[in-house]
Structure formats: C-alpha cells, structure tokens
Chain A
C-alpha cells in the first residue's frame, strides 16, 4: 500500500470517505448526511450558545449505507474509540462491523475562552459521556425511524433498527438506512427520546473486540511520526538541560554544524534534515559541544537537595502546628487524642519524581504559512500531533504565535501512550517554532533521551504519618503531614492555598477516622511537573494504605478485619468483602499456600470507581517478585468489560513500574538518566497474573483508566512486610542487601 497518494497529504489510515475539505459540508447532494453531532460539554456561560461549543463527535451516513463515527477525543490505548462509539452503536441499533470509527480530520475552531478545554484525562470519558451519548443515540434512532415511517407510511411501532437495518415487523422486510437518506436529512432531531434499558443492549456489557484492534495489529494504525506531508523535513531537538538555563554558544554550534541545518529555538536547538536519523546523528554530535549557563535554582538542585527540602518542609509542619495555611482537612480533635493516646506510632514515607515513558516519544508535525504583510508573523498554522487536548494545543499555539485560533488547525493523531504526558503542549509549540523558522513543514521527533530528560514529572512527595490509639485499638487519632511541589504552580496556575492534587486521596473518606488532620507544606523545585496516571492518588494512596497497615499491625488486627472496622457500609466495603471472599483471606489468615510467599492488601476509591487488590509476592535474590494480583472492581455499569480488564491490567503494570524500580534522579537541576538502560520500565517477566472480579452493578459507570494504579504499590509493600518483617516506606521498593 502506498502512503503517498492523497492530495498533498498522507495518512495511511483512509480518511472518512468525504474529502478532507468537504467533510463538514455533508448534504444529500453530496451523498452523505450528518446523522448526529455530539457536544460533550455545555457552554460554561449563559451568554454563549451551544452552537459555539466545539463538536466532539459526528456520525455520518452515506448513500451506500456506510456509517462513520468521527471522533475528536484522544485515543491513547484506553479504548474510548471503541467504548464511546459502542454506546451509540447499541443505542441506535447499528452493526459494529459496518461502522468505521475515524479520527476527525481536524478539530473545529476553538473560539471562546469561556468554553473550557476538552481534555482526555482524569478517567472522565466514559463516565461523563455515557449519558450524553445514550441520549444522543436514542434521538438519532427516533429520527431515523420517524423518517422511515413517514416514507413507508407505517406506524413507528411497526419499525425497529437492528444490526444496521430497518426492520418492518408487519411485512418482515428490511431496508437500509440509506434508503431514507433524504427523509432522514429532512427529519428534525427529536427533542427527547427514551433510552434503551441495559437489558435491551446487544453488545454493551458484553465482551466485544476493540474496533481498531485490526489496524493496531498489522502496522497500519497511524501515529504522529507516521504523518507525511509534501515537502516535509525532519527535526531532532536538543533542549537546554534545566529550568532557566541559557545556551551560550549557539553561534559556535551553528558554524560547527556546517552541512546541516541548525535552528535555534527558545529552549534549545534543532537540527533539520531530509532524514530524522541524519538530523539526530548530527544533533548528538553537537550536543556535547553546547555550553550553558545554569539558573542558580537549577544548578543547586539534586537528589540530596530534594531530600533536604522535604525534611525541612516536614519539620516546619511539626514546628508550626497552628498555622491554618498548612492545614487541608480536619475532623474531631486529633492533636488532643494523639497526645493522650496510650500508644503511638510514627512513620515517614517518600516517593521520587516519575517519568511517563510513553512508548511513543513526543512528536509533532507542523506546517506554517508566513504572514504576507507582517514580518516574522504567521498567517496560519496547521499541526498533526498526538495530544490529549487538541483545543488546548490550538489555544496555546494561537497565543504563542499571535495567530487567530480559527487559523490554527489541529489534527489529533492517535497516541502511543499518554498517561498525562501528552496533555502538555511543549513539543507542538517547538515544531511550529521550527517550521516558522525554516519556512517548511517539519516533523519534530524527540529522541528517547530527550523524552526522559524533559518530561513533566509526577512530583516527588514525602509524608510523616502519626497515629495514636488506645490499647484495644479504638480511639484512633491520625495525623498526616506531607510535602511536595505543586503541579498547578508548575503548569502556570498557582494554587490558592494548598494544591488539591497534592493531597487528593490522602487519608480520604470513606475511612471513618473520627479524629484526623491532613497538613501539607509546598516545596519549590526547578523540575517541570505534570499529571501522571492517577495524579495525587499515585503517592497518597501509598502513604495511606501502608500506614493503615502499620496501625492495624500495631493494634494486633488482621489487615482485612482492620479495614472492615474502619469502613462504613458502602461500595468500598463491599469490594473488600468480595476480595476476602475470592482470596479466602480471612479463612487463610492472609497467607498464601506457598511458605516463601506473602499477601498484601490495599484499597482505593476514586474517579467514580472502587478497587481492592491483594497481591502475592516473594523475594528471590533480593528482587521482589509479584506473582499474582486479585483485583476486585466496582465501576458501576461495565459497558466494555474486556476493555475494563485491559485497563485494570495496564493500570497495575503502570503502578508496578513505580513500585518495583522506577525513579527519576537529578543533578544540577536536570534528569541524569538517558534511556531504558538506566530507567526502569516494567518488563514482561515482572508482570504478574491479574485475576479481575467485576462487581455487577447498575450504578453509573465510573472511570477505569486510572483507579487500579494507586493500590498496587502499597499492596506490594504491605506484602513485603508480612514476608520479611521489614517496612519499606520508599518507592521504588528496595530490599536492603544483607
């Protein structure tokens, strides 16, 4: 298959049958109509009309009875290009084998800052869009049936849509939807339509394959670096090493570059060439010759400095117990109860900065048109990039380059992993800057080294946890102090008070602590920060679930029994009960069959879902081995059970990377690691067998992209305690050599 024959653009995945230029002008005359437009957001302000809200999804029907769903949300492996269309497919009554799901060729104009920015993140896609899509699907279905009923002169009740065909129950005949293309086009979308009950679903709730599994299995799925534009060149970038650093000898590097095309941009330099590999080789040749002036804050920052910052922050919390600015949540009178407790325990925990390590490194392809009238200005910008928010990219580019957003076109490509990294726009801005500088379309690809060294890291956090309790284990007071830098501040939105992301899931409900206080002290580092799968829960669930285990042990209670005593009735407690049932934890006193193995437990609720995990671990030659994970999940209505299973396995794997080996290390304000050789990513042999139990539920669907990540590290740490008698309170978990 040749990739080089579409217009002046190339996309190996065939675009929607309509040409790129006409896709928004569907009409009967053009042989294709829009069945439906779906907007996932409402306007944030009353003076903004719904029509100004960007459309996220279109369904089209053409004269050959082909249905296409065009999507403006990011597919990064979480399967929403399957789950969300399937809601529509089932509600309308289409045949999934005959529906093509496509990336919308471009994102429509972002015109109004009151809009909010649709971002694919926070495990929100299914849980927020499920009711919208159900409703939209029902209205579409009714529209089609009304049109057919009019045309056939039948009662609505006599018609149905099944498997993509209209069934006439009086004559047992079938019709294609396209037979009524004109009538459907003329039929207004109903104001209301009843949604199907789950018992009528034909596919939702059952296992079905991902709609794009085939192209991801035969090399035809298109990713950002697979885009080919006429006259395109490639760029490899060497970014300045740390926050605020300045490249001192750009001129020298430029003359050293000789044959190759050297481009300096705001925070680094790029080499541009006809081949990425040649450009990258040259960039690597020049990189050691670059000289930088470091910002003092960066020059001063390394792993020891980080430890000092945490220590000083935690000490400051102790020394300023009354400072209201340091307090996040309070219940009862924890200080008093703690002071009067017969028994006290205290433990300190810490976790490092974490990189994302998506398999696809940041990449973006940019084509700019220079302004004919204003020098050094752009008339228009067009980019192709994997991003978790095309609208955010559009707005950022419009602002950074002074181009009205209706002349900034963003084509979102499928992502080779996101995990929060590709919610940032840095690599796209760079591609545009390079394209602007050289006056040609350019594809920028970050090397793996650049990706590792210029991530937006999950911040490092530390915690000092204290608990006081009476001899019989009742009357517990719990005091949680934590320290860490603010993601909000790092991403340009300084928090009012404590950044909520820093303390989410930190000793949160539903645990019934009568006396608790959470306090937090921000620290300041030159490390760029961002969202990592499950964000604040990624560290705070580790602190919470490990310390709960410590309290339980101190009061002489079994981990399951102890948590049962702390949880009110509800979905998380039911998850714990189910976990106990399937592992027979209580029956076995929390011990696996094999004597050289141990079990550990952790719970988490968030993103609308409830998760419990038991892990079985052993230690071999000082290495932690996780053999099995039993995972119980209550995520409400399970629309795509096979997809949920994939997300559970994937979330556990992602969390295990942090539990078993991953950390990002710093010197002079920059990451000192370079590639997979010195930065740990979970390997296949480290992946346990995950046994998932889904609790049947009619509750609203919860998100499942993230919730299975937070409990895995504490479950493993808790298991290691039961195996070795040692509490490991730092990630990654390392057994002391002895």
Chain B
C-alpha cells in the first residue's frame, strides 16, 4: 500500500510497490495524460512532478513516492500558476502538433522553473528541457516557455 498526495488529494495505491508510477497513473487511476514513450527514462513523455521536481515516471516504482506530492498534467486549473500559464500559452500559440509528448514537455518545463529557477533565454530552455519531440515543436516550445514564464512574472 502506498500513500501519497496526487494533484493535491491524498490517495492510497494498492498496486505492487515496484510497479512504475507511470503505469499506476494510467492503469489504476485513469489519468491518461501522462504517456509511455520509451520505458527507459530517455524521452520524457512520462514526466510528472514529484515534490515539485520533474521526474520521468516510467522508472519510478510507486513505492518510492510514499508520502510525496505527485503532480500530473491533469492538475485542476487555479492551483499552480506556472502550470496554468504554460497550458494557456501552449493552447493559444498552438505549440503541440500531434500532442503526444506535450504533457511531458509541459511538466518538465514547470519542474525546471520551480526547482532550478526561471529560464534565461531560449537556449537555456533547450539545455534544461531535453524531452524528445518527433514532430519538431522545439522552436515553439522554447519561445512559449519564455512567454509563459513572463506571464507568471507579470502577475
């Protein structure tokens, strides 16, 4: 039994402790926004936040998040201004193409801003957020990560 806080609510997971968080989210909790991309923490499609830090959930056994705060792309609006800003800018600027990698991109960006401070420029975004996108949205990602950040800073 693993007890944790998920998107602000306490929950208990009965799944085997070594089941990766990614699959617990997708199979036990019907939270389907976090995606499988490689299963080896190489691509970032499975990125969530654990205690505010971005983590690739495909290799994190659920037992490791005992007592922790897990945040996914499905977090309700109005709770995290950084996440809200990124999601809003993403929709307004049409950052996603196929969209499959974008939950991971968005969570990785939020985690970076929270844990390691704001991005200094677009090169900094590319250096710190290495999630793979095969549609090639990198240019819009770095432009819009800065836009979202600015929007947060203005508030």
Binding site for B on A (CB under 8 A): 1-4, 12, 75-79, 209-210, 212-223, 225-226, 228, 275-278, 280, 357-361, 414-419, 445, 447-448, 642-643, 646, 649-654, 675-677, 681-685, 687, 689-690
Contacts and interface: CB of A to CB of B under 8 A. Distances in A.
B99 to A, nearest CB: 3
B19 A277 contact: yes
Contact of A218 (B37, B45, B87, B97): B87
Contacts of B139: 649, 687, 689-690
Nearest to B73: A219
Contact of A448 (B39, B98, B130): B39
A228 B126 CA distance: 35
A51 B4 CA distance: 57
A76 B73 contact: no
Contacts of A650: 97, 135-137
B32 A361 contact: no
Contacts of B98: 75-77, 216, 358-360, 414-418
Given A209-B94, A210-B94, A687 B102 contact: no
B96 A213 contact: yes
Interface string B41-61: 011010000000000000000
Given A209-B94, A651-B136, 4 more contacts: A217-B90, A414-B98, A448-B39, A684-B138
A681 B134 contact: yes
A218 B129 contact: no
Interface residues of B, number: 56
12 contacts: A77-B98, A219-B33, A219-B34, A220-B33, A225-B26, A280-B39, A358-B98, A359-B43, A415-B98, A654-B134, A654-B136, A681-B132
B11 interface: no
Given A217-B90, A359-B45, A676-B40, A226 B32 contact: yes
Contacts of A360: 35, 37, 98, 100
B90 A219 contact: no
A219 B72 contact: yes
Interface of B: 19-20, 23, 26-27, 30-40, 42-43, 45, 72-74, 87, 90-103, 106, 123, 125-127, 129-142
A661 to B, nearest CB: 13
B37 to A, nearest CB: 6
B97 A77 contact: yes
A507 to B, nearest CB: 28
B96 A275 contact: no
Contacts of A361: 36-37
B20 A277 contact: yes
A209 B134 contact: no
Contacts of B91: 209, 213-214, 217-218
In the A-B complex, the 8 residue pairs with the closest CB atoms: A219-B33, A653-B136, A416-B100, A216-B99, A77-B98, A77-B97, A219-B73, A650-B136
Contact of B140 (A221, A419, A649, A676): A649
Given A213-B94, A217-B106, A218-B87, A684 B134 contact: no
B35 A416 contact: yes
Contacts of A78: 97
Contacts of A222: 32
A277 B23 contact: yes
B100 A417 contact: yes
Contacts of B32: 3, 12, 219, 222, 225-226
Nearest to B98: A77
A275 B23 contact: yes
Contact of A684 (B40, B45, B141): B141
A276 B27 contact: yes
